[in-house]
Amino acid sequence: MKVVVLLGWLAVTSIAGEVIVDQAVADPPDILRDYRFVPSHTVVHVSGGSPGYDMDLSIAGKFGLVTGYDYEVSPTAHIPTLVPHAEFVDVHAILFNPLSAAPVPLPGWDLDKTLNLTGLKGAFNDPSLLHFTGMDGQGIPIKLDAVSRGPLLHITGMNYLPPTCTSCTQYVGYKIDALAVTHPYADFNLDGVIDSSDLAIWKANMGLTADTLFAQGDANGDGFVDSADYVLWRHSVGPAISLSDFANSGLESGVVPEPTALGLALVGTLFVALRRCSRMPRRRAG
């Protein structure tokens, strides 16, 4: 007896009780989420290199995060398996000194060129806990973990020198502790509740139009603080995700000051430069 059925997205044939995969019709759709870094809760410790760096920088900018599954079928397999994958896409972010308007003295002020986020390979068992491995922009191994809690994403990790490397003093070390948030989201002070204090932040920055930050009241991530952000705040008043949900993750200890006015000017200038660079094609999701 021969029975042909659709199992998920695969055409499956059953002959005498044996399951045989005829062909893959389509992989399950990927999920794409857009994030913005929160500079006030993001620290990248930079060390080493020939200048002997020892400083804390922050990150401003945006990126996409794709998660999904691929079917994997071996010649001897009777039932296909789903293989999870994750990747960073469309990264447009910079490293900067939040306390100074002086340019960062690193050739890799572009975050993706520095850490090679889009070149890392991601995997997961739990979709809320992602793991990335690969080489940074210097060709040094790097590992990152990303924990998601609702609209918040906490990224931690570091690059590391192989134990066999005896002449690696010229390489720069990076240790990352970064918070990012999806949009729309209106808990601007990240205190776990969307309320009048967030409205006060929006009011104080209403009218800003130059690459505004999430913490300034830009709820929808369009770079402006305007009435659209107020509408999003009004429709989301109430409990929100608290940073305590990342307990023991190091997030609380990774708080840096908000950028100064001069620092924000630098961020805007660097974003203009980033936009002039060629964009990497975004992977389609879904």
pLDDT digits 0-9 by tens, 39-96: 989 999 998 877 778 889 999 899 999 999 987 776 666 677 888 999 999 999 999 8
CB 171 within 8 A of CB 138: yes
User: If 0-12 CB within 10 Å is exposed, 13-18 middle and 19+ buried, where does residue 6 land?
Assistant: exposed
Q: CA-to-CA distance for 284 and 286, rounded, in angstroms?
A: 7
**Per-residue model confidence as pLDDT tens digits over 87-134:** 999 999 999 887 765 555 454 489 999 999 999 999 999 989 999 999
What number of other Cβ atoms are within 10 A of residue 242's Cβ? 16
**Model confidence over 137-185: pLDDT tens digits?**
989 999 999 999 999 999 999 998 777 666 667 788 999 999 999 988 9
pLDDT value at 10 more than 90? no
Q: Which of 165, 164, 147 is nearest to 156 (CA)?
A: 147
Single pTM value for the model: 0.77
